[in-house]
Amino acid sequence: MEISWVAVDTPLPSGPMQLAVTPLGVALSSYVGESSAGLPIGVPRCTDERKVEAVRSRLAEYFAGRRRELGLPIDWRFASGPHRVVLQRLLADTGYGRTVTYGELAASSGVFEDVVEPGLAARTVGQMMGANPLPLLVPCHRVVAADGIGGFGGGPSGIEVKRWLLTLEGVLPPTLDWDGPTGG
């Protein structure tokens, strides 16, 4: 398995991101800034300057408010079965500046048709978002609770990362301490 990682500086409260790349595309991303991004020990830093530049420049444009879609190829090797179906539905249907509730995503994915317990499908989607191997590229920050922002992984500053991204995309109004771009 040819896999390597790229570090990307971000304005996020969590700091830099790590993205694992393969010949097929981005396979993993992490907000927590750990050099391994959940990869086995010994995975090397990416030395393919075209890949590094593509990842860094597209994320920089997104964080600056100049790009609404990252447009990076995705390697889905770390998502399978219903989890992958739900993530792909989210990516296809919930664009920049839009949100979907956990329950709406569960219903639109089609993978929970036999679930009869109220709330179980929505809670399962919440767990799936927490296990998303490709945060930001597959925008789990756009999945919210029916009664509020919902939860978010990404380390100790996870919910602040979600708020920052939703503010960048215009879903939430900027607060007085907003440190993002001023004119997306």
Question: Which sequence positions are flagged as catalytic?
Answer: 140
**Which own/partner contact pairs does 70-74 have at CB distance under 8 Å and 24+ positions apart?**
70/136, 70/137, 72/25, 72/26, 72/137, 73/24, 73/25, 73/26, 74/24, 74/25, 74/26, 74/27, 74/134, 74/137, 74/138
- Distance separating alpha carbons of residues 123 and 19, to the nearest angstrom: 27
CA distance to 12, 14, 32, 61, 172, per residue, from 156 (Å): 12, 8, 9, 25, 21
65: alpha, beta or left? (left if phi > 0; alpha if psi -120 to 50): left
Closest Cα partner for 171 from 116, 96, 112, 104? 96
